[in-house]
Amino acid sequence: MLKGHLDAVLLATIGDEALHGYAIIEAIRARSGGHFDLPEGTIYPALHRLELAGLLASRWVQPDGGRKRRVYALTDSGRRSLVERRAGWRSFASGIDLVLGART
Amino acid sequence: MLKGHLDAVLLATIGDEALHGYAIIEAIRARSGGHFDLPEGTIYPALHRLELAGLLASRWVQPDGGRKRRVYALTDSGRRSLVERRAGWRSFASGIDLVLGART
DNA sequence: TTCAACGCCTAGTGTCGCTAGGTATAACTT
DNA sequence: AAGTTATACCTAGCGACACTAGGCGTTGAA
């Protein structure tokens, strides 16, 4: 469970790469050092929601081998949102750190 | 919103002090540097839940001046749970940090 | 040819904490 | 004396979030 930080994780993972859903799951697993292994039922609806909100744009791609993929990229709005959400996470995490006792 | 970390925050705030609900709200506000200002509707049900789970024990106290208060303290089980939840938070936060880009 | 991996999707559900309300006592103002 | 604010506790109901559990179809390997 990503506890309200799913959108930030998705936006940060896509970054400048333009990934498709399945690859996003793998990228999150890899980048998080195995901490997060999100089910498809989590990410697909989230991608749709972020696209509807104008933070992501998708297009269908037909690779040479393999089946069609829906590929997502950040919009300008998405990039701005990522900056905000990163700051929001830092603020949130520092608040929790203060209460739980700093990372000593 | 504490996004799934409310219990850890409550256990850590109570710590060794034995606080009552209203004081817990103020302590969280103070210790978090103003990040978190939790409504009563959040903490009272949570305290009841944690007591039911055996992590907290409460008793009613009549101070010299003022009205009766219900004071909560950690049980042994609560202390153990706090250790676990602190570790859980550190693990979670490091995972998010990795994905969002480390705190540089 | 059958099985796993790839790849997309959604309805329903459970968890969580907040909203919005209630009750009551004590202290401070006017 | 009366009204207001701060203290102090409580709960029903709701909305946000992401997970479960299912479905569909394609590609490559055993």
Asked whether residue B85 is assigned to any structural domain, the reply reads: yes
Residue A104 clears pLDDT 70, i.e. is over it: no
Structure tokens at B25: 């709200």
Gyration radius from chain A CA atoms = 15
Taking the CA of residue B66 and the C1' sugar atom of nucleotide D1, their distance in angstroms comes to 22
Q: Would you tell me how many other CB atoms lie within 10 Å of the CB of residue A9?
A: 24
Contact B95, A32 (CB under 8 A): yes
A70: CB within 7 A of chain C nucleic strand:
yes
Distance CA A97, CA B59 (A): 29
Residue A27 clears pLDDT 60, i.e. is over it: yes
B12 → closest Cβ in A92, A101, A103: A101
B49: CB within 7 A of chain D nucleic strand:
no
Asked whether residue B18 is assigned to any structural domain, the reply reads: yes
pLDDT at residue A36, rounded to an integer? 95
Closest chain A residue to B94 measured between Cα atoms?
Answer: A32
Taking the CA of residue B39 and the C1' sugar atom of nucleotide C15, their distance in angstroms comes to 19
Q: What is the CATH number of the domain that holds A29?
A: 1.10.10.10
pLDDT tens string B19-69? 999 999 999 999 999 899 999 999 999 999 999 999 999 999 998 877 899
Asked whether residue B1 is assigned to any structural domain, the reply reads: no
pLDDT band at A15 (very low <50, low <70, confident <90, very high): very high
Contact A72, A14 (CB under 8 A): yes
Does the beta-carbon distance from A90 to B103 stay under 8 Å? yes
Distance CA A63, CA B86 (A): 45
Asked whether residue A104 is assigned to any structural domain, the reply reads: no
Asked whether residue A103 is assigned to any structural domain, the reply reads: no
Asked whether residue B45 is assigned to any structural domain, the reply reads: yes
Residue A98 clears pLDDT 60, i.e. is over it: yes
Residue A31 clears pLDDT 80, i.e. is over it: yes
pLDDT at residue B102, rounded to an integer? 63
44-63 in chain B: CB under 8 A from chain A: none
Give the count of domains, chain A.
Answer: 1
Ramachandran assignment for B4, one of left (phi > 0), alpha (psi -120 to 50 degrees), beta (any other)? left
Q: What is the DSSP letter of B66?
A: S
Asked whether residue B104 is assigned to any structural domain, the reply reads: no
Closest CA to B88 of B18, B20, B12: B12
By C-alpha to C1' distance, C15 is nearest to B4
CA torsion A48-A54-A57-A58 (nearest 10°) is 20
Domain extent, residue A34, equals 6-98
Asked whether residue B103 is assigned to any structural domain, the reply reads: no
Closest CA to B4 of A2, A84, A28: A2
> Any chain B CB within 8 A of the CB of A81?
no
A63 Cβ contact list (under 8 Å, min separation 6): A69
